[in-house]
């Protein structure tokens, strides 16, 4: 057991922050489902709830299914506090606050990858601007890290608006994942495949095979 613990501590912890400064953006849903998809690969995954509203914690307390553990760290001291709770984990998914705050900047600081969920609406696209500024400020002093990408969620397939939103997001200079979630998914297996596709693209980004 001691040796196994040592091996785990020697692994590189990967931190994925799911951030959006707009409430109701689907951020917590993406964070929770992404963590679950990572866990299905046999990884030890911790969800860090950095949202003062405690949405991920509320979800964890109400869920009866085998879920990833959730810890609340909704403070700007995230970078200092995170190592104390992540020693036995392979990956961490941070569910950020629903507004731009010091916690958001702290999450960017500790993240290896930042995922920005965006719904297909002009307002959602516009509201990403300040978060992108924080990301770019960080990336200028860290050789382009963390990796970052948009993911379109609740899209209505093949509509003009969904296509226009993806095109508008590229104007920020960050990639838009090919994978997305769609509205009115009739079958749980389809929704699961969408999340798995997002997971695979995020992991490719972390591995440096896609920037």
- Percentage of the chain beyond pLDDT 90 is 60
State how far the Cα of 108 lies from the Cα of 147, in Å rounded to an integer. 10
Residue 82 contacts by C-beta under 8 Å, 6 or more apart in sequence?
15, 48, 73, 92, 110
User: Which domains does the chain possess?
Assistant: 2-206 (3.40.50.300)
Reported confidence tier of residue 21, pLDDT bands at 50, 70, 90: confident
| pLDDT score at 98 | 83
Cα–Cα dist 34/1, whole Å: 29
What pLDDT does residue 116 have?
A: 97
pLDDT tens digits for range 71-128? 999 888 888 999 999 989 999 999 998 888 889 999 999 999 999 999 998 999 999 9
pTM: 0.89
Grouping H, G, I as helix, E, B as strand and the rest as coil, residue 36 is helix
Which pLDDT does position 58 carry in this prediction?
Answer: 84
List, for residues 172-211, the tens digit of each pLDDT value.
999 999 999 988 655 567 888 999 999 999 999 999 855 3
What integer pLDDT is reported at residue 7 of this predicted model?
42
DSSP 154-168: SB-TT-HHHHHHHHH
b/e map of 84-104 (b: 16 or more CB within 10 Å)? eebeebbbbbbbbbbbbbebb
Q: For residue 6, is pLDDT > 50?
A: no
């Amino acid at each position: 057991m001691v040796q196994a613990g040592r091996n785990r501590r020697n692994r590189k912890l990967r931190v994925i922050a799911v951030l959006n400064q707009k409430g109701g953006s689907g951020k917590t849903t993406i964070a929770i489902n992404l963590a679950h998809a990572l866990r299905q690969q046999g990884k030890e995954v911790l969800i860090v709830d950095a949202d003062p509203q405690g949405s991920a914690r509320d979800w964890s307390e109400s869920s009866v299914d085998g879920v990833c553990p959730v810890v609340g760290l909704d403070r700007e001291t995230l970078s200092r506090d995170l190592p104390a709770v992540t020693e036995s984990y392979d990956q961490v998914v941070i569910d950020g606050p629903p507004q731009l705050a010091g916690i958001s900047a702290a999450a960017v600081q500790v993240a290896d990858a930042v995922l920005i969920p965006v719904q297909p609406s002009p307002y959602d696209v516009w509201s990403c601007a300040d978060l992108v500024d924080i990301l770019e400020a960080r990336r200028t002093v860290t050789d382009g890290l963390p990796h970052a990408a948009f993911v379109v969620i609740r899209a209505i397939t093949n509509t003009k608006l969904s296509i226009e939103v993806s095109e508008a997001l590229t104007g920020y200079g960050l990639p838009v994942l090919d994978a997305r979630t769609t509205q009115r998914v009739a079958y749980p297996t389809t929704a699961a495949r969408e999340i798995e596709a997002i997971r695979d693209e995020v992991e490719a980004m972390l591995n440096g095979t896609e920037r």
